Amino acid sequence: MAEFAVVDLIRAKRDGRPLEDAEIRWLINSFTGGAVDPEQMSAMAMAVFFRGMDDRELSTWTTAMIETGERLDFSGLSRPTADKHSTGGVGDKITLPLAPLVAACGVAVPQLSGRGLGHTGGTLDKLEAIPGWRASLSNEEMLRQLEEVGAVICAAGSGLAPADKKLYALRDVTGTVEAIPLIASSIMSKKIAEGTDSLVLDVKVGSGAFMKSREDASELARRMVSLGAAADVRTVALLTSMEAPLGLTAGNGLEVAESVEVLAGGGPADVVELTLALAREMVQAAGVDVDPADKLADGSAMDVWRRMIAAQGGDPDAELPSAQHVEVVTADQTGYLTALDAMAVGLAAWRLGAGRARKEDPVQAAAGVVMCAKPGDRVTEGQPLFELHTDTPDTIARARAALAGGWEIGPDAPESQPLILDRITA
């Protein structure tokens, strides 16, 4: 492979010259192998942040990242596969009811997930609140569970797109996470390497999301959808609102309990709406003609959930851990809750112990925030608005501070806002 001087490539991108395919392939391989220093790759990430990448560069960059690792092969399964990826939000527990629901419709769901960092929770952290449940499976165990149960939610092995793991760690500490081409290639390299037939993307927009503006979220969705299509993965994206948290809980065990309510036929309306919308997209992309609403109503999604948890050592009947301390934040006036800021709730849950500041930190299974009202609800002075759950009561003052200013009560009901904002296809 041709040799390049990395500093020339950094200068080229810095000055706005698109990189050649051979340059990109060399850069990604050399960085993964250790021949490009982290400080040089950090400079490149910053140059990409400011200059972007055109579609050809992005496609080559993503393919080069995929080729640094293994690719899984689900072609031996007896049913089609569909996966979902969310760009992350507060109270976003949708994967938990969604995976068993789609499996109940006859589609295999390989949901390779991660842990949370910062104010958004990680799916694995949530499921680890269930006594006995284990996140790590070998590829053989994963395939067996997909065939026998239909759904698996487990840790992504380190073999998929190792370039991304290394690059993400740099971006995390150099202020370059938010670059749209880098997010698109990061997500899509892992999903394409995973080998799913179809993919539904939930691209969040709003205060609690990576993408704060609709324009940026649309651009991210468009670029991911075209990467998927180019790799023969049927890909569709929904743009969904993350101004307010999803559902009534933010925190690991609390979100598991809410997900089980949805599977039992109840649960908050927004969680049910988004679960069904994403399930319909996944089932349709997989070419299966079943309405997920029927599988939720007849209990078969709950059956798959129970088998999926048990297959990974969890006890679906075990009581979830409860917090040692619960404090209440009350409404200071009577009126309508007009705003509830997702970021403020996410930060409060994180400070209570539901999230981690560094990768190696533990999380509390029972910590988090329960919302007693959502925007549009009528509230009366003195009524509970939030419950703060934690095992470490010294965190409560800082959680209260995070919430202060994160909600508003006014005399008039706010206009109701749609949850699903757009649908983007190739």
* Residues forming the site for ligand URA (CB under 6 A): 168, 177, 182-183, 186-187
Active-site annotation holds for 270: no
- What is the smallest separation between the CB atom of 182 and ligand URA, expressed in angstroms? 6
Active-site annotation holds for 171: yes
- What is the smallest separation between the CB atom of 171 and ligand URA, expressed in angstroms? 7
Active-site annotation holds for 164: yes
Calpha distance 285→301 (Å, rounded)? 19
- What is the smallest separation between the CB atom of 168 and ligand URA, expressed in angstroms? 6
Closer to ligand URA at the Cβ: 46 or 365? 46
- What is the smallest separation between the CB atom of 334 and ligand URA, expressed in angstroms? 41
Closer to ligand URA at the Cβ: 167 or 296? 167
Token duo for residue 52: 């972007």
Q: In sequence order, which residues have a C-beta less than 8 Å from that of residue 232 and are 6 or more positions away?
A: none
Closer to ligand URA at the Cβ: 222 or 295? 222
- What is the smallest separation between the CB atom of 312 and ligand URA, expressed in angstroms? 22
Token duo for residue 307: 């088998």
Q: In sequence order, which residues have a C-beta less than 8 Å from that of residue 396 and are 6 or more positions away?
A: 325, 327, 352, 388, 390
Nearest residue to ligand URA, using CB?
186
Active-site annotation holds for 186: yes
Active-site annotation holds for 85: yes
Closer to ligand URA at the Cβ: 186 or 235? 186
Closer to ligand URA at the Cβ: 177 or 264? 177
Name the catalytic one among 85, 204, 222, 356. Answer: 85
Closer to ligand URA at the Cβ: 65 or 308? 65
Between helices 6-14 and 38-51, what is the axis angle to 10°?
20
Name the catalytic one among 164, 197, 202, 341. Answer: 164
Name the catalytic one among 186, 189, 207, 226. Answer: 186
- What is the smallest separation between the CB atom of 391 and ligand URA, expressed in angstroms? 29
For 124, phi then psi, to 5°, come to -65, -40
Q: What does the DSSP assignment read for 101-161?
A: HHHHTT-BEEEEE---BTTB--HHHHHTTSTT------HHHHHHHHHHTSEEEEEPPTTS-
Residue type present at position 156: A
The 3-state DSSP class for residue 177 equals coil
Q: In sequence order, which residues have a C-beta less than 8 Å from that of residue 37 and are 6 or more positions away?
A: none
Distance from the first to the final alpha carbon of the chain = 33
Residue appearing with tokens 């527990």: 93
Name the catalytic one among 171, 191, 356, 389. Answer: 171
Are 124 and 156 spatial neighbours (Cβ–Cβ below 8 Å)?
no
What is the set of active-site residues?
Answer: 85, 164, 171, 186, 190
